[in-house]
Amino acid sequence: MTQQKKHRTVRSFIRRGGRLTPGQQRAIDQLWSKYAINNADSLLELDTLFNRKAPKVIEIGFGNGASLAEMARNQPEHDFLGIEVHRPGVGQLLNLIEQFQLTNIRVACTDALELLEHRIADNSLERLHIYFPDPWHKKRHHKRRIVQPDFVALLSKKIKSGGHLHMATDWEHYAEQMLADVSQNSDFQNCAEQDYIPRPDYRPLTKFEQRGHRLGHGIWDLLYKRQ
Sheet hosting strand 79-83, strand order edge to edge? 36-37, 105-108, 79-83, 56-60, 125-131, 159-169, 220-226, 188-190
For residue 202, give the nearest of 32, 3, 67, 33 by alpha carbon: 67
Give the CB-side neighbour count of residue 24, counting CA atoms within 13 A. 15
Question: What are the Cα distances from residue 104, in Å, to 107, 175, 176?
Answer: 10, 30, 33
CATH class name, domain 26-226: alpha beta
CA separation for the pair 162, 178 (Å, rounded)? 20
What is the Cα–Cα distance from 142 to 139, expressed in whole angstroms?
Answer: 5
pLDDT in tens, 125-179: 999 999 999 999 899 989 999 999 999 999 999 999 999 999 999 999 999 999 9
**Predicted pLDDT of residue 141:** 80
| Residue 58, strand partner residues | 81, 128
pLDDT value, residue 4: 46
According to the model, what pLDDT value does residue 96 have? 98
Q: Which one-letter amino acid corresponds to residue 152?
A: V
Q: What is the pLDDT of residue 207?
A: 79
Task: List the catalytic residues.
Answer: 134
**The predicted structure's pLDDT at residue 17:** 57
pLDDT in single tens digits along all 227 residues of the chain: 444 444 445 565 555 557 899 999 999 999 999 999 999 999 999 999 999 999 999 999 999 999 999 999 999 999 999 999 999 999 999 999 999 999 999 999 999 999 999 999 999 999 999 999 999 989 998 999 999 999 999 999 999 999 999 999 999 999 999 999 999 999 999 999 999 999 999 999 987 788 888 888 899 999 999 99
Separation of alpha carbons 161 and 171, rounded Å: 29
Mean pLDDT of the chain: 93
Give me the residue spans of the domains in the chain.
26-226
DSSP 33: H
Angle, alpha carbons 70-71-76 (nearest 5°): 110
The pLDDT of residue 14 is 55
Position 60 scores a pLDDT of 98
